[in-house]
Structure 1
Amino acid sequence: MTVVTKVADLVGRWFAVLVLAGALVGLLLPEQTAPVVPHVPLLLGIIMFGMGLTMRPADFTVVTRHPGTVLLGVLAQYTVMPLLGWGIAHAFGLPPLLVVGMVLVGASPGGTASNVIVYLARGDVALSVAMTSISTMLAPFVTPLLVLGLAGSTLPVAAGDLFLSILQVVLLPVVAGLLLRTFAERVVSPLLPLMPLVSVTGIVLVVAGVVGANADAVLGTGLLLALAVVVHNTLGLTVGYLVGYFGRMPESARRAASVEVGMQNSGLAASLATTHFEPLAALPGALFSVWHNLSGAAVATYWARNAPGDAEEAAEPERP
């Protein structure tokens, strides 16, 4: 178990590089990786179950202590990124399926790696966990409505089917993991160090499969779409930080808001796209998975060298 734990820790540290490698494998070996696509929902369900295992009821106590901060952060998650995704897709003149894919990325809850990035960035981890958890719980209800409202005029959107999919691959696995940890802590605790290995493996397989299924599209429109994804993520990180700034949050909370808004559960977006639309619609989610882990690692590295000083924190008004 010690060797496996060390491997899991190593995989977690090289998350961004491994995801990028998965994308390259998908591009170079499309016939071998494309068959993964039908299994994307199952892979995501496993990842979300692992996320549930890392959660505890205590993670939600920040909601009672700082309800205004959490509410503002979650509201930003479900407004900033969906609108940016829709606007950027149209500004870049992307075809309808890619517009839907961009909206799906923006309308997804917080990313599964965001809590780690916030921790490395010396941000407010409790706020990050609360925002990820709450946005994930709300996803079955909010994500279908956002996709219907923003992309419904582009392509037919079955909001009810989206609701059921998110319920099956996100909410139920997360709740199952949370309950298992709550009532079987002794059994679950030894497994927690292995969760990075499970999550990273799942995301790498999803990215490789989606890129492989869309290898021709990546080569044809990849540069333009990649630029759109980079702009989407960069603006999300920036606007998320500004929401914290104008919301009078302390610096550590601004960092958490920035990462939570800018990093999305792009695996969910890819899963929904492959299930309810066509593989091409999953391409923005796959590219976002690659890029936001790279940018998240870069942001965390920068902020890790600049701790929120006690003086600065004291000068900030109390959170709402």
Structure 2
Amino acid sequence: MNSALTSVFLPAALAIIMFGLGLGLTVADFRRVVVYPKAAFTALACQIVLLPLICFGLVLVFGLAPGLAVGMMLLAASPGGTSANLYSHLFGGDVALNVTLTAINSVLAVFTLPLVTNLAIAHFQGGSGQVGLQFDKTAQVFLIVLIPVAIGMAVKARFSAFADWMEKPVKILSAVILLAVIAGAIVKEAANLGDYIASVGLITLVFSVISLTVGYWAPRLAGADPRQAIASCMEIGIHNSTLAITVAISLLGSTEAAVPAAVYGVLMFFTAAAAGALLRRRAVRDADVPV
């Protein structure tokens, strides 16, 4: 891809997306973890530790090519996507918990995403000359993820009405940016697209289903109530594919590593909707059972 696109446009695009996320957050969203300690810590442990381990196992079982394997691990290390809040609301989840998890995950991803990505590159591409996310690239992740979120939160705190007015346009712009990024990757890799989909279609589907399942049942087994478990299900089950695509293309310089996130970014909306419908039906059925 054109160097100006990868070095300027994509980081700027991600910064806009993260700024939009910040517009919907307040300091209270971080403090709220004390209100939901069991559900929050269980969900974060699954997101940060369990899912990357599960993804690593899947990559080994499916025998992916090194670039695609790194892309899958990058996807697993990405925090929850902003769509999780909407899905949680639609299917009866605790949206306040979603907002809290999104806020904390956005901060933690600055540290965990480069760590998981570098470990994946060392394992799968150790002899291929890949350098991964070195200090300067890790600093870029900090700058284009955490700083825009902080600025968005500052705008929200100081100019609440303006922040509320800006949220919708920024979300629309974010969706347009994601489509543009995916389209650019498709154009560049058009010759390999069929092979890529054949290679990662099934694994991304399996990973999506496992993410949603773990996201619901881990908190439930830890004692969280159904609404909190649904929130966790959506937060953990809907990864931020935009972040994974942008990091793969702009920081790793690999459209191949962006393919799993691009395929997953389409599939997850269907699997999340199916999971939400099943969980809502389960909640209705349980409510009808006399105690």
- Partner in structure 1 of residue 71 of structure 2: 101
- Partner in structure 2 of residue 184 of structure 1: 159
Structure 1 residues 103-122: aligned runs within 5 Å: 103-122=73-92
Distance 1:76 1:264, change over 3 A: same
- Partner in structure 1 of residue 235 of structure 2: 260
The answer to whether the Cα contact below 8 Å between 1:145 and 1:159 also exists between their aligned partners in 2 is: no
- Partner in structure 1 of residue 18 of structure 2: 48
- Partner in structure 2 of residue 84 of structure 1: 54
Distance 1:301 1:201, change over 3 A: farther
Structure 1 residues 67-216: aligned runs within 5 Å: 67-155=37-125, 156-216=131-191
- Partner in structure 2 of residue 284 of structure 1: 260
Q: Distance in 2 between matches of 1:75 and 1:188?
A: 31
Q: CA deviation at 1:98?
A: 0.6
The number of aligned residues is 282
- Partner in structure 1 of residue 247 of structure 2: 272
- Partner in structure 2 of residue 28 of structure 1: none
Q: Look up the equivalent residue of 2:12 and give its one-letter code.
A: L
Q: Distance in 2 between matches of 1:267 and 1:214?
A: 18
- Partner in structure 1 of residue 128 of structure 2: none
The answer to whether the Cα contact below 8 Å between 1:165 and 1:272 also exists between their aligned partners in 2 is: no
Distance 1:44 1:294, change over 3 A: farther
User: In the alignment, does 2:274 pair up with 1:298?
Assistant: yes
Q: CA deviation at 1:308?
A: 6.4
Q: Which stretch has the larger CA shift, 125-134 or 64-73?
A: 64-73
Q: CA deviation at 1:305?
A: 5.1
Q: CA deviation at 1:207?
A: 1.9
Q: Distance in 2 between matches of 1:62 and 1:305?
A: 28
State TM-score, norm by structure 2.
0.88
Structure 1 residues 30-45: aligned runs within 5 Å: 39-45=9-15
The answer to whether the Cα contact below 8 Å between 2:38 and 2:224 also exists between their aligned partners in 1 is: no
Deviations 1:90-145 (A, max 9, x none): 21111111111000000111112111111111111111111111011111111112
Secondary structure, aligned partner of 2:107: helix
Query: Between the two proteins, what is the percent identity of the paired residues?
Result: 30
Q: Distance in 2 between matches of 1:37 and 1:189?
A: 30
Q: Distance in 2 between matches of 1:138 and 1:285?
A: 20
Q: CA deviation at 1:85?
A: 2.2
Q: CA deviation at 1:311?
A: 5.8
Q: Distance in 2 between matches of 1:92 and 1:310?
A: 37
Structure 1: gaps (5+ residues): 1-30, 316-320
- Partner in structure 2 of residue 6 of structure 1: none
Q: Look up the equivalent residue of 1:246 and give its one-letter code.
A: L
Q: Which stretch has the larger CA shift, 255-264 or 98-107?
A: 255-264
Distance 1:114 1:162, change over 3 A: farther
State TM-score, norm by structure 1.
0.80
- Please provide the CA RMSD for this pair: 2.5
The answer to whether the Cα contact below 8 Å between 1:52 and 1:175 also exists between their aligned partners in 2 is: yes
Q: Look up the equivalent residue of 2:27 and give its one-letter code.
A: P
- Partner in structure 2 of residue 3 of structure 1: none
- Partner in structure 2 of residue 5 of structure 1: none
The answer to whether the Cα contact below 8 Å between 1:121 and 1:302 also exists between their aligned partners in 2 is: no
Q: CA deviation at 1:177?
A: 0.4
Q: Look up the equivalent residue of 2:173 and give its one-letter code.
A: V
